Structure formats: structure tokens, C-alpha cells
Amino acid sequence: MKPGTFITFEGIDGCGKTTQIQLARTFLEKQGNQVITTLEPGGTDIGIQIRKILLNQKNQSLVQESEMLLYLADRIQHLKEVILPALEKGNLVLCDRFHDSTLAYQGFGRGLDLKLIRSIEEKAITPHAPFLTFLLDIEPKLALKRTEEKYAKRNQQDRLEQESIDFFERIKRGYQQLAEASPDRFVCLDGSKSKEHIHQQIIETLETRLSERKSF
């Protein structure tokens, strides 16, 4: 059995990646693919508990290094329990965030040493890098407007949604640098476009890249 394909969706909160994952799954399943959708943090039972700690607005005293290690702990559990078993079965795995998020948020956003993050990830996570990553690039002001509408419905913000616009500006620039460093893996899309327009771009990319992968 051929191994599956690992595809990730990245971007700042409010960029629309969760919607695009759902649309991509529907498209890929209609093509006869076995598709698993998952997310970070929170893709496992243990991950859900870690997610509650990370996003709870009461945890303002959580230090940056601890925050990073919690995300990495969630990721390793997620890899071992969900992602790798699904790939071994030949499934397509669509993941809402992966290691690029930690580099963007904790590295560029928080200012932690990128070399430190990469050194911790090197053995457990880096060997399982995605085949393809869709980056939905969007201006933070527009993204924050979208998230404000979302948390207005649930009547609260999580810990990350309370961050300043400057924080998300740094993350946006960080994502752009990560994409420039890995042009073969990243596909950058304008997150301000309509969801239909973005979905069509994703479909076209998936058809081309998956076809190329099957030919090897």
C-alpha cells in the first residue's frame, strides 16, 4: 500500500483555513479519496486538554517557553495517535495547523529563538513534514474583524484572540518568510478573496500536485 499524503492549512486566526479544509475534504471524497481532517491543538483526547490550557483566558501567566512546549507536546501526541496511522493506511490527511504555526506564533510572534524550536522538533516532528501547505495570507485587521464576529457569537475571546494587532502582524510576516524558504511546499493564497475563489485555487493545486505525486 502506498503511503498517504499529508497536507496542512496555515494562516493567522480568521484567515478562513478551517472553511477551506471542509470544502477540500468534500471535493477530495467525491474523487474517491479516503480523507481524514484534523487540527492542532486538540486533535486527540489529550490534545483537547492541552488546548483548554493554551486558550483559557485565565492562563495569562503562562510563560512563552511553556506555551511552546505545550504546543509541541500536543503535536507529538497528534502525530503518533492520528496523523501517522492515517498515512500508513494510505489516507489523505488534511490538518488545520502543524509545525509552521509554532514557528510563526511562538517564533516570530512571541520572539522565541527559531533555532531552539527547530532543535526540539528535529527528531520527533521534522521528519514528518507535510507534502503540501496552503497558506491563507490575509491582513490582520480583516482577520481580527472576522474573529470578533466569531467570539461575539460565543460571548468571549480565547487567550490568543486577546493579543494585539502587532502580534498578528509579526506572525503574518513570519509566515511569509517560512513560505519563501520552502517554495516547493507552500502555496500562498489571498485570504481576503471569496471562499469560492480560494476553493477553486485549492482544487486546481490539489489536482496538479496529487497527480504528480501518483506518477512517481
Task: Write out pLDDT tens, residues 148-171.
Answer: 776 655 556 666 767 889 999 999
Chain centroid, CA 164 distance in Å:
20
φ/ψ of residue 201, rounded to 5: -65, -40
| CB neighbours of residue 17 within 10 Å | 24
128 neighbors 81 (Cβ within 8 angstroms):
no
Residue type for position 118: R
More reliable by pLDDT, 155 or 206 = 206
Residue owning grid cell 501547505: 133
pLDDT-derived band at 147 (thresholds 50, 70, 90) equals confident
User: How far is 37 from 18, CA to CA, in rounded Å?
Assistant: 10
Would you state the pLDDT for residue 146? 86
pLDDT-derived band at 27 (thresholds 50, 70, 90) equals very high
User: How far is 56 from 162, CA to CA, in rounded Å?
Assistant: 11
pLDDT-derived band at 57 (thresholds 50, 70, 90) equals confident
- Mean pLDDT over all residues of the chain? 93
φ/ψ of residue 98, rounded to 5: -150, -145
Residue owning grid cell 503518533: 80
The full DSSP string for 14-28 is TSSHHHHHHHHHHHH
Strand runs (DSSP E) across the chain, as ranges?
Answer: 5-10, 35-39, 92-96, 132-137, 186-190
Burial class (CB within 10 angstroms; exposed 0-12, middle 13-18, buried 19+) of 128? middle
Write the pLDDT tens digit of every residue in 116-138. 999 999 989 999 999 999 999 99
CATH superfamily of domain region 5-214: P-loop containing nucleotide triphosphate hydrolases (3.40.50.300)
Domain ranges for the chain, please list them: 5-214
Would you state the pLDDT for residue 154? 55
Q: Does residue 47 carry a pLDDT above 80? A: yes
Closest CA to 126 of 72, 174, 183: 72
Average pLDDT over every residue of 56-60: 90
Residue owning grid cell 489571498: 190
Average pLDDT over every residue of 188-210: 97
More reliable by pLDDT, 153 or 48 = 48
Would you state the pLDDT for residue 216? 46
Write the pLDDT tens digit of every residue in 74-128. 999 999 999 999 999 999 999 999 999 999 999 999 999 999 999 999 989 999 9
Q: Does residue 145 carry a pLDDT above 90? A: no
